[in-house]
Amino acid sequence: MDCGTCDSAPALPVEAPAPVNVNLTITDKARAMLSDAFGDTEGQSLLVGVLSGGCSGYMYDLQIIEGSEPDCQSLDVMGINVQVPNASSHLLDGIEIDYEDRLMGGGFKINNPNAGSTCGCGESFG
């Protein structure tokens, strides 16, 4: 958008970071919860992604999917098939997926050594 009061600057190219080979871990408690969620169904994967938003800039996105997604790395982590999009691989390399019991119900928690900051809810990072 040009306000018309100053010279327009040339457009800057947006460059996506190069994909990195993701290395992640899943705690025993998280693995047990995921195994229960998968049940006996074959061909399911845990999609671990990142969305823009949240109070710190990015939000984790965990989904159970059928099959595989395009442009994703497929990992076997302790018998759990995990898909990580190449576009967010630099943000997710080295994470640990955990499961915590809480007073008002449990939930998955991501421990991310790449996060410069996290919010109090633990669902977003920057």
Q: CATH number of the domain that 96 lies in?
A: 2.60.300.12
Q: Is the pLDDT confidence value at 1 over 80?
A: no
Q: Is residue 18 part of a domain?
A: no
Rounded Cα distance between 80 and 100, Å, is: 18
Q: Which domain holds residue 70?
A: 25-125
Q: Is residue 69 part of a domain?
A: yes
Residue with tokens 């009061």: 5
Q: Is the pLDDT confidence value at 114 over 90?
A: no
pLDDT in tens, 72-101: 999 999 999 999 999 999 999 999 999 998
Q: Is residue 31 part of a domain?
A: yes
Residues 6+ apart with CB under 8 A from 44: 38, 64, 65, 66, 81
pLDDT in tens, 29-75: 999 999 999 988 888 999 999 998 766 678 899 999 998 899 999 99
The CA angle 25-26-32, to the nearest 5 degrees, is: 160
Helix-strand-coil percent breakdown of the chain, rounded to 5? 15, 35, 50
Longest dimension (CA), the chain: 64
Q: What is the mean pLDDT of residues 114-118?
A: 72
Q: Is residue 83 part of a domain?
A: yes
Q: Is residue 17 part of a domain?
A: no
> Domain tally for the chain?
1
